[in-house]
Amino acid sequence: MGSATPGPSTRPRSAVRRRFDLLFREVAKFGAVGGAGLLVNLLVFNLVRHLTGLQVVRASVIATVVSIVFNYIGFRYFTYRDRDKGGRTKELTLFLLFSAVGLVIENGVLYAATYGFGWDSPLQSNVFKFLGIGVATLFRFWSYRTWVFRALPAREAVASAEAFLDEVPDARRTRARVN
């Protein structure tokens, strides 16, 4: 008959599962803020493009800057609200630095399509703007979570210790039932 005693693989498996769940929640929150930022970006891009005589890439840069401000507020106060809040000047500086790199990636794709290939109809501009945002988003997700909104090491240690302590009483009760 099977023993109810958890094997050695139970703890690492549940720790991996917990880390996966945390990553999934982070990606979902990042996606929610990013999705709203995408709408802001495309809305401002099309408004600036159609209401002014600015060139496509210049209108795109303005829209990207507006969405960067929108996204910072969303990331700081929603997605990464539980992360280290010390050193806001450093955090904001890194955020702006990595956002600027994302801006270059995003608008570089649009620039190449518009001036390199001559694809500058409104539909083509929106498609390549969207594609550039997608490529830049991958870079931004990695850089923001790695460098800007860093996890507090103590929080992860406390979570691991609490999870371990939650599992220990279960193991003792199981052993008591078997003996």
C-alpha 99/C-alpha 72 separation (Å) is 10
Domain presence at residue 110: yes
Domain presence at residue 78: yes
- Tell me the pLDDT band of 163, cut-offs 50, 70 and 90: low
pTM of this prediction?
0.72
Domain presence at residue 174: no
Q: Are 69 and 41 in contact (CB under 8 A)?
A: no
Domain presence at residue 100: yes
Number of domains composing the chain: 1
Assess whether pLDDT exceeds 80 at residue 124.
yes
Which has the closest alpha carbon to 137: 67, 63, 34?
34
Domain presence at residue 2: no
* Rounded average pLDDT over 120-125: 94
Could you say which DSSP state residue 115 is in?
Answer: I
Q: Structural domain of residue 156, as residue ranges?
A: 11-169
Torsion angle (degrees, nearest 10) of CA 18, 76, 40, 101:
-90
Domain presence at residue 175: no
Domain presence at residue 4: no
Q: What is the pLDDT of residues 95-109, one digit of tens each?
A: 999 999 999 999 999
Domain presence at residue 176: no
Residues 6+ positions from 75 with CB-CB distance below 8 Å: 30, 33, 95, 144, 149
